Copies of this chain bind each other. A is one copy, B any other.
Amino acid sequence: MTELLRIGLLGAGRIGQVHARTIVQRVTSAQLVAIADPMPGAAATLAARFGVTQVTTDCLDIIRDPNIDAVMICTPTTTHCEYIIAAAQHGKHIFCEKPIALTLAETDQALAAVAAAGVKLQIGFNRRFDANFMRVQQAVATGQIGDARMLHIISRDPAPPPIDYIKTSGGIFLDMTIHDWDIARFLIGADIEEVYVQGGVMVDQAIGAAGDIDTHITMVRFVNGVIGTIDNCRQAVYGYDQRAEVFGSLGIIETGNNFPNAATLSTATAVQRDLPLNFFMQRYIEAYAAEIEAFVAAVTSTSTVPVDGTDARKALVAGLAAWQSYHSGRPVKLSEIG
């Protein structure tokens, strides 16, 4: 592969648009050559913005196209497995948004297809590529804080997604905490052994009516004995709250939010600064670029991808265990799930 990696994009929705822009504007070793979206006109509109000529409403057109090296799957979760399997069978490398599926059975099918085809599969756990979380991970991994003892993750969205999304998303533990299960493993460098959930509906009763909760704290214990908490809420009026800290025998590493500027205003009333960056499009713009650069680097070399299918599976297991803990009111071991 001495030329630019030729990428086809499946799904021209919100995250598909982010990735399209990233590939075109930031990733010099790849090019976006085709876009598919079943909604009429969606692919064409996005393609026009970035000078992409090949558009289709059938994702399989791209998967089957022999001139395409890799696909980015940004379609709804329910379609991920089908496209992963098809793409693997056609020898395409795959970047897939999280989660792979809402069930272990489907996830395992997809992973088996990827393994059988020998293609590379990277999962869109973008936070691993964020400068703040990378710095925390580095401090832990290099021993700057000694032996880790405790972890705290706070991850709150500025506002809830539409109720229609919640109905099919798998709920908070699979659509939102899914990032935190992964970043927890990334920061501590060990798998989660057990979870215990306290949570409920505090933001909007309609979320409860849809079978979901909107607020929880989950206690996690890792296989290496580290204990920690994950705090999620679907609504934080002050913006996207994305913090983490790891406390260890030699110190603590903490990271806070990112802000649109470094200015402080002091008046007769208060000392204040502007709110943190509002949501993931602002907060993780650099991380999105870095994860795709890493994907392109991996599939155009002999390297492994930095976040693979087993990472996705482990996050799914944690999410399913969390639901079981929530419903049963007791701590649940991940080994009970699968």
Closest to A228 in B: B217
What 1/0 flags go to A149-189 for Cβ under 8 Å of B? 11010101000000000000000000000000000000000
Query: A238 to B261, Cβ gap below 8 A?
Result: no
Say which one of A271-279, A290-298, A311-319 lies at the interface with B.
Answer: A271-279
In the assembled complex, the Cα of A134 lies from the Cα of B331 at a distance in Å of 34
A236 an interface residue at 8 Å Cβ cutoff? yes
Measured between beta carbons, the chain B residues less than 8 angstroms from A239 are 266
The answer to whether B252 touches A262 (Cβ under 8 A) is no
CB interface residues, A 206-262, toward B, < 8 Å: 215-217, 219, 221, 225, 227-229, 231, 233, 235-239, 241, 247, 249-258, 260-262
Considering residues A26, A49, A198, A199, which has the most beta carbons from chain B within 10 angstroms of its beta carbon? A198
A202 near B149 with CB under 8 A, answer yes
Tell me the nearest residue of chain B to A216, going by C-beta: B227
Collect the chain B residues with CB atoms within 8 Å of residue A241's CB.
252
Closest to A25 in B: B25
Within 8 A of B (CB), among A112-160: 131-132, 134-136, 139, 144-145, 147, 149-150, 152, 154, 156
For residue A199, which residue of chain B has the nearest CB? B227
Known pairs A26-B25, A150-B215; A251 contacts B268 (CB<8 A) = yes
CA distance A255 to B139 in the complex (A): 24
Asked if A238 contacts B266 (CB within 8 A), the reply is yes
A263 touches B253 (CB 8 A): yes
Q: Which residues of B contact A267 (CB under 8 A)?
A: 144-145, 237-238, 250-251
Our pick among B227, B253, B257, B263 for the contact of A217 (Cβ within 8 Å) is: B227
User: A252 is contacted by which of B225, B228, B266 (Cβ under 8 Å)?
Assistant: B266
Q: How far is the CA of A202 from the CA of B151 in the complex (A)?
A: 14
The minimal Cβ–Cβ distance linking A264 to chain B, given in whole angstroms, is: 5
Distance of A214 Cα from B219 Cα, bound (Å): 18
The size class of the interface chain A forms with chain B is 35 or more
Known A25-B26, A150-B233, A237-B268; contact A202-B228, beta-carbon cutoff 8 A? no
User: A275 CA to B268 CA in the complex, in Å?
Assistant: 8
**A219 to chain B: which residues have CB within 8 Å?**
196, 198, 217, 219, 229
Q: Which residue of B lies closest to A147 (CB)?
A: B202
Contact between A139 and B263, CB atoms less than 8 A apart: yes
A265 at the interface (CB under 8 A from B): yes
Chain B residue nearest to A198 (CB atoms) is B227
Please give, as numbers and ranges, the residues of chain B lying within 8 Å of A152 by CB-CB distance. 152, 154, 229, 231
A270 at the interface (CB under 8 A from B): yes
A253 to B265, alpha carbons, bound, how many Å?
4
CB distance from A239 to the nearest CB of B (A): 8
**Smallest distance from the beta carbon of A2 to chain B beta carbons, Å?**
15
A238 touches B252 (CB 8 A): yes
A49 to chain B, nearest CB (A): 8
27 contacts between A and B (CB under 8 A): A28-B49, A131-B260, A144-B265, A144-B267, A149-B202, A149-B215, A152-B154, A152-B231, A196-B331, A200-B225, A216-B227, A237-B267, A250-B267, A250-B268, A251-B266, A251-B267, A252-B265, A252-B266, A253-B264, A253-B265, A255-B261, A258-B262, A266-B275, A270-B270, A270-B273, A270-B275, A330-B331
